[in-house]
Structure formats: C-alpha cells, structure tokens
C-alpha cells in the first residue's frame, strides 16, 4: 500500500515497522495488565505469561490497532481491546494443544504449556487468560456508540459457543471424517475468522466507528480471517516444524480435512487470493486511513509462518 510522504510522493507503508512497534507496545501493555509472576499462586501466573510471551505474531492486536487507525482512533484507546483479543487467542492455543484436543508438544517455537506446567495447570492457565481478557476489556474507556456492556458482549459472542468454541467442536467432530468444502468453511468461519473479525470490529468500536464503518470492518475481518486459515492449511503441508514453531503436517496426521486435502494446493492458493481480494474491497470506504489493514491483509496472504 502507498501513502503520501511529506514531499507529496507516494511511498510504501512500512509494515515491518508497524508490526514491530505494535508488538512492542502490546507486549508492554500486556505486561502491565497481567499479575506479575511473583503474585500468588505464582505457578498460574508463570504459566499464563509463559504462553502469552512465547513469541506469537500478535496479528489480532495488529488488526485491532489497524482498524482503530482506519476509523481515526488512537492506539491508546484500542490497546485494552488489542490485549484482550490476544489473551483470548493465547487461551485458545493453550487449550487446543492439550492431549484431549490436538495433543501438541510445540507452539510458538517452545514446548507447549502442558509440557512445561502439566495438564491441570495448562487448563487453568487457559481459563485464567480467558477471564483476564474480560478484565482487561472492562478497563477500556467506553464510547458514545459502544458502552462497556457492548464491548463485553462483543468479546463474549466472539469467544462463545456459537463462534470460537463452535468452530473447535466442529473441528473435533470432523476428525477422521470426509467433509465438504461447505462444512470446512463453517469450521474456519468460527474457529479462526470469528476472532480476527472480532479483533477488527473491536478496534473500530474503540474509535467510536459509524455503523457503516463497522459493517465494512466486519466484511474485511470475515474474509481476511477465512484467508488466514486457508493459508494456515497450506503452510501446514508446505513448511517445516522449525519454520512454523509448531508441528507441521499435523492435519494429515490427525486425519483432518483441509483446503489442500479437498481441493488441492493450487486451488487453495487461488481461494486464499480471492478471499484476500474481497477483504481489500471491503476497505474502500476508508481511503488511505486503512493502509495498515491493507498491508496486513497482503502480508497474511504471503506469510511463510
């Protein structure tokens, strides 16, 4: 994406700079919001911080902050919501890695939470991160169009049994079965797209966005979220575990249908590109203020981990 420099010339948006700056700001804020490792019982706070600061890409906070910027909002106002979505995301990964779910040993390039702290503490660390998300979100300042109640409702709906958890249930139930592209799309909409969409919606809300802006962000988040999971499926079969920081080839091993297993790699790449184009189209209403969101959507399509 191009932006105007002071000289009036167009220059590319500095996505690496934006990602590094937002990740650093989010890490500082998360560190302030979370109880210290020394707070009793220290085991749970060490376990929460272990997974939260294990080196995730911080894509959901970046999308939240990018959406706030697209609607003319500030990083400071969006930050509690950016941190809340990252806590929910990390909780979902900790639980997803448990032996009762995907049974994985590595995540974010490190041993999974239950491998280090044991299954009981990992369950509780996930629970605590989910709860922490609501506490942090309740610290937002509230806006004329979006009260604290509206913000908490948004988070609860995103993480609840009709969205994030529904996706995980459908994912578990599909294991070892042959499913259609439509059924796979249902899983992706919920287990992945819901939280990416919630992240951009909450960013917009932190800027007191108009209903039309919220609709545009919803469309953008929906398509970018679907593209994200198709790319994730592709990377699972094309990348190494070292590169991904988690076990590669997991879907095939767990007998899980994915876009590459149903439609093949090349068609999966075409689908991801089409979804990303639809995400770009949704941003037209924002003009140049959506440069971070445009750059993020472009990057998520070509990412290698």
Identify whether the C-beta of residue 66 lies closer than 8 Å to the C-beta of residue 296. yes
User: For the chain, how many helices (H) and strands (E)?
Assistant: 16, 4
Nearer to ligand GRG, 59 or 79 (CB): 59
Kindly state the smallest distance separating residue 19's Cβ from ligand GRG, in Å.
11
Stated length of the chain: 305
Residue 122 vs 209, nearer CB to ligand GRG: 122
Torsion of CA 261, 263, 264, 270, to 10 degrees: -130
Nearest-5° angle of CA 26, CA 15, CA 75? 35
Which C-beta is closer to ligand GRG: that of 46 or that of 57?
Answer: 57
- CA 122, CA 196: separation in Å to the nearest integer? 24
For residue 82, the minimal CB distance to ligand GRG (Å) is 13
Using CB positions, name the residue nearest to ligand GRG.
56
Q: Closest separation between CB of residue 294 and ligand GRG, Å?
A: 19
114 or 214: whose CB is closer to ligand GRG?
114
**Residue 232: CB minimum distance to ligand GRG, A:** 4
Shortest Cβ distance from residue 72 to ligand GRG (Å)?
26
Q: Which is nearer to ligand GRG, 103 or 208 (CB)?
A: 103
Cβ–Cβ < 8 Å for 73, 200:
no
- The footprint of ligand GRG (CB under 6 A) covers 56-57, 59, 89, 92-93, 95-96, 108, 164-165, 168, 191-192, 229, 232
Within the chain, strands assigned E span 2-4, 10-12, 106-107, 110-111
């Amino acid at each position: 994406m191009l932006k105007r420099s002071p000289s009036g010339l167009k220059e590319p948006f500095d996505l690496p700079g934006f990602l590094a700056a937002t990740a650093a700001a989010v890490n500082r804020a998360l560190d302030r919001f979370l109880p210290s490792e020394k707070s009793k019982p220290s085991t749970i706070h060490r376990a929460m911080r272990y997974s939260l600061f294990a080196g995730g890409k911080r894509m959901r906070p970046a999308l939240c902050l990018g959406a706030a910027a697209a609607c003319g909002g500030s990083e400071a106002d969006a930050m509690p919501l950016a941190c809340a979505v990252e806590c929910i995301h990390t909780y979902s990964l900790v639980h997803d890695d448990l032996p009762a779910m995907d049974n994985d040993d590595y995540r974010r390039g490190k041993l999974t939470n239950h491998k280090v702290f044991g299954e009981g503490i990992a369950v509780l660390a996930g629970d605590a991160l989910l709860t922490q998300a609501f506490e942090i979100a309740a610290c937002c300042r509230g806006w004329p169009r979006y009260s604290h109640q509206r913000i908490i409702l948004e988070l609860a709906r995103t993480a609840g049994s009709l969205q994030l958890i529904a996706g995980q249930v459908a994912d578990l139930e599909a294991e070892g079965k042959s499913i259609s592209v439509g059924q796979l799309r249902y899983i992706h909409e919920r287990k992945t797209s819901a939280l990416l969409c919630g992240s951009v919606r909450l960013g917009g809300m932190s800027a007191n966005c108009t209903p039309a802006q919220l609709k545009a962000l919803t469309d953008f988040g929906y398509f970018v979220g679907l593209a994200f999971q198709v790319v994730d499926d592709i990377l699972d079969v094309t990348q190494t575990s070292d590169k991904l920081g988690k076990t590669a080839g997991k879907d095939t091993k767990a007998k899980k249908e994915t876009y590459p297993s149903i439609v093949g790699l090349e068609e999966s790449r075409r689908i991801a590109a089409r979804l990303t184009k639809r995400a770009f189209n949704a941003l037209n209403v924002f003009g140049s203020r959506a440069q971070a969101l445009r750059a993020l959507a472009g990057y998520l399509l070509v990412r290698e981990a």
